[in-house]
Structure 1
Amino acid sequence: MLNSISTPARTLTGQDFKTLSLAALGGALEFYDFIIFVFFAVIIGDLFFPADIPDWLRQFQTFGIFAAGYLARPLGGIIMAHFGDKIGRKRMFTLSIFLMAVPTLLIGLLPTYAAIGIAAPIMLLGLRILQGAAIGGEVPGAWVFVAEHVPAARVGLACGILTVGLTAGILLGSLVATAINTQLPKEEVVVWGWRLAFVLGGVFGIIAMYLRRWLHETPVFAELQARKALAAEMPLKAVLRDHKAAVVVSMLLTWLLSAGIVVVILMTPTYLQKVYALTPPEALQANSLAIVALTLGCIVAGRLIDWLGSGVTFMGGSVLLALTTWNFYSGLQGGTADLLLHYAQAGFCVGIVGAVPYVMVNAFPAAVRFSGLSFSYNVAYAVFGGLTPMLVTLWLAQDVLAPAYYVVSLCGLGFGIGAYLWWRKRGALRLQAEAA
């Protein structure tokens, strides 16, 4: 089922580090654009929906618009992946930046419900859909791009470093939101401060688009092109016909990834404010620390998967994520004195997501790799990542430990996938030994 990345056996070169750095920085700036919405979800809900509806319904609708970005990811991802497998990774890698920067800038300029009524949330929804289409091509494209540039023995580390770039975008969003909420009076944040975060995002997108001019096409794609070995038919058709097992494993891994990122990292600042009455600066400062820990966890997970393999990494990582997540959310019921420590521990263990792309980029052959990864990842994230905020929000109305229950249950899935990958590897090694 798993197909090794076909790159020469060598060490990482200066060019590899340049490619990783530019890809990670560009991904960070684009991911900032996509997630900054969630850090101002409370204010956006107040400004873009009627004031006379229940607070829980307003937040549910706000997270519904946030989820629309995830639901739009499959279409954008499939289209960009198709052309990425046909005409090149780099072109689509650059296009995704442009498609993200413009809607982000426009969100920062949108009139509110008080100004134009129901048209305000409708326009916000439309721009959020465009953002989703862009990120649908960005994330899988970035993983494929770096994996095809580095030697096979360093794919895990490379994907971990790139995932650090993506999570750095979340950190940047958290820091910007923290600065705005700390430096401006609450009234000014509501009037114009939140808009500044989106306008900055548009500028960041333009910078990222410029930076990607210095990237080169991947050696793997260039070789396929030279040998005229590109997919002769629609790549997605070949994926769905010949690589069903790889699609299933990739989708389940994406579900695990969405549980860690969406619940523990993206939703928790709002959760801390609503359930435990923390101020926005307090919640966002804790979140920033957790994201720093997450970036370290991604690098550790990427290195471990190169060393120990994906099965052992996912089994051990899932156990640790379950323990630290439960400790964090249940510990809040006794007070917030240990908030920073417990949140940082949970954030570090969410770093298991740094190992997820390693499995996915190796699950498909090069000719259809972009399409296979993009379809699996984006469809699964649309379903699981998109619906998770609404599901957990509704569950919270019944139990404040809803986030913990959700993440811990997904850790059980992660352990099972790890056991499956370990069993598959042992079987492959046994066959190789018998053939020898």
Structure 2
Amino acid sequence: MLVGTTLEWYDFFLYGTAAALIFNKQFFPELSPGAGTLAAFSTFAVGFIARPVGGLVFGHFGDRIGRRNTLIVSLLMMGIASTLIGLVPNYGSIGVWAPVLLVLLRIVQGIGLGGEGAGATLMSMEHAPAGKKNLYAGFPQMGTPAGLVLANLVFLSTNALMPSTSFDSWGWRIPFLLSGLLVIIGLVIRLHVEESPSFAKVVSRNSVERFPLREAVRVGVGRMTLTMGLMIANSAVAYVFMVFTLSYGSEHLDYDRDFLIICVSVAAVIWFLAIPYWTGVADRRGRRTMFLGGSVALLVWCIAFLPMLDTGSEVVTAIAFLGMGLIVPVTHCVQGAIIADIFPAAVRYSGTSLVLQIGAILGGGLAPIISSALVGDAGGSFGVTVYMVIVCLISLACATVLFRSASSGAPETVPVAATSA
């Protein structure tokens, strides 16, 4: 699952990096730099808006025909869409059709990733031996930073091999075209993955639901809303530090864009390496306390993060990014398992997809746009810091209420696994 998830996040983050640094010039050249960046980030957000569609469609069929086959289709959709993005003519060639085609392919990307997030987590978690549920569910989560690092390394390497004018003109297409090769590798691996044991049991008991989403929502709107709220801070903060800072740092603080990409990539490496440690802690000591502690740490670091970038010091800025790399994985690594544990196996793909993708829109999908709008052409990060603090407080409050209700034995409509597993 890790390899396939890494390739899908490679495609998704590659678009984010290009949206921050390239697409405003290639697809929105008639707008001011600030407006062009907002427009480019709007196309980035479109992928998030499409993700619930993918989550609903793939979730339905994942609960009906199995996790494995749906994950193969989602991988193909992401890889083909990314390859075609590398072939889309720019605004100077075909005018307004250029951003239109870009948005359409971004929608396909979003639908594909909407099916991937929940499915990969479920496949890993449902294969886990006793006492290793969080560790196994954390492996697909490692695909997020791994995909980010891979996307940034390919982006940096391509940029380093040619003059910047050539890269900005056509060289940026090479990393997208590489997706065609990577998807073949991921497809070969995914074809050899066995179906989830939990789904196999559902089939053997003749318990496959005809309309799994309808059954999934019986867990309760309140509980699902709290779970969505629980994840928005991690998602929003991650996309501020992974995507928004590339445009903010280069346009408003005059940092070299390669320096910023390296900082994000090193932070992502730390994030990747930290996930097995934190999921191990969750398996040994319970994930509730760890998640709440990580939420508080994220809140504190968000207060300091952008002011550290605003100092103009590369050393201080590097420390700010490294701190994000250490703190973000504490809550990120277990949120998939927390969400999946709400639902019984027969409807788990549908329910988990719905919560994950709507939460992703409210968190990560809107974060770069909101942050860019708060900064504006004049610059200034105070508003973005306030925004991050607010979403952290919302997630912390939702997590506290959710875990407390589970501990108190509040009645549930459907059986719910213990969230402290």
TM-score (norm 2): 0.92
Superposition map of 1:14-413 within 5 A: 23-41=1-19, 42-49=21-28, 51-231=29-209, 233-336=210-313, 337-351=315-329, 352-397=331-376, 399-413=380-394
**Partner residue, 1:17:** none
Contact 2:243/2:368 (CA < 8 Å) preserved in 1?
A: no
Deviation sequence 1:372-397 (CA, Å, 0-9, x none): 00011112323433222211110112
Deviation string for 1:247-292 (max 9, x for gaps)? Answer: 2133113312321321122222222112211112111111111111
2:399 aligned with 1:418, yes or no? yes
| Structure 2 match to 1:16 | none
Q: What residue identity is the alignment partner of 1:290? A: A
Q: Secondary structure of the equivalent of 2:255? A: coil
Q: 1:418 to 1:52 in 2, by over 3 A?
A: closer
Name the SS of the counterpart of 2:179 in structure 1: helix
**Does the 8 Å contact 1:33/1:202 carry over to 2?**
no
CA gap of 1:84–1:203, structure 2 versus 1, over 3 A, is same
Instruction: Tell me, in whole angstroms, the C-alpha distance in 2 between the residues paired with 1:328 and 1:379.
Output: 26
Q: Is the 8 A contact 2:23 2:40 kept in 1?
A: yes
Q: Matched residue pairs, number?
A: 405
Q: Secondary structure at the residue paired with 2:136?
A: helix
Q: Deviations for 1:114-162, whole angstroms, at most 9, x for unmatched residues?
A: 0111110101111110000000001111111111110242111112222
Most deviating of 136-145 and 306-315? 306-315
Corresponding letter in the other structure for 1:395: L
* C-alpha contact 1:315 1:416 (8 A) present in aligned 2: no
- Identity over the aligned pairs, expressed in percent? 30
Q: Secondary structure in 2 aligned to 1:52?
A: coil
Alpha-carbon distance in 2 for matches of 1:86, 1:208: 23
Deviation at 1:425, TM superposition (A): 4.8
Cα 1:193–1:277 change in 2 (3 A) is same
Rounded to whole Å, the distance in 2 between the matches of 1:414 and 1:112 is 40
Q: Which runs of 4+ in 1 moved over 6 A?
A: none
Q: Compared with structure 1, are the counterparts of its residues 213 and 112 closer, same or farther at alpha carbon in structure 2 (3 Å cutoff)?
A: same
Q: 1:417 to 1:303 in 2, by over 3 A?
A: farther
User: Could you tell me which amino acid in structure 2 is paired with residue 256 of structure 1?
Assistant: A
Q: Is the 8 A contact 1:257 1:356 kept in 2?
A: no
Preserved CA contact (<8 Å) 1:364 1:372: yes
Aligned amino acid, residue 135 of structure 2: L
Write the letter of the residue equivalent to 2:218. Answer: R
Q: CA deviation at 1:311?
A: 2.2
* CA apart distance, 1:422: 4.0
TM-score (norm 1): 0.89
Q: Which runs of 5+ in 2 are unaligned?
A: 411-421
* C-alpha separation in 2, matches of 1:363 and 1:241: 11
CA distance in 2 between counterparts of 1:182 and 1:401 reads 34
Residue identity in the other structure for 1:45: N
Letter in 2 for 1:205: V
* RMSD, matched Cα: 1.8
Larger mean Cα displacement after TM superposition, 325-334 or 125-134: 325-334
Q: Which amino acid aligns with 1:81?
A: G
Deviation at 1:428, TM superposition (A): 4.2
Kept in 2: contact 1:68–1:125 (CA 8 A): yes
| Alpha-carbon distance between aligned partners in 1 of 2:150 and 2:87, rounded to the nearest angstrom | 21
Amino acid at match of 1:48: F
How far apart are the structure 2 equivalents of 1:270 and 1:300?
32
AA at the equivalent of 1:207: I
Q: What letter is aligned with 2:347?
A: V
For the 8 Å contact 1:297–1:350, the answer to whether it is kept is: no
Deviations 1:34-83 (A, max 9, x none): 1201112221110112x332111111111111111111111111011101
Displacement of 1:206 after TM fit?
A: 2.0
Native 8 Å contact 2:87 2:173 kept in 1? yes
Question: Quick check: 2:26–2:169 contact (8 Å CA) kept in 1?
Answer: no
Letter in 1 for 2:334: A
In structure 2, the residue corresponding to 1:289 is in which secondary structure?
helix
The letter for the 2-side match of 1:401 is F
CA distance in 2, matches of 1:396, 1:152: 48
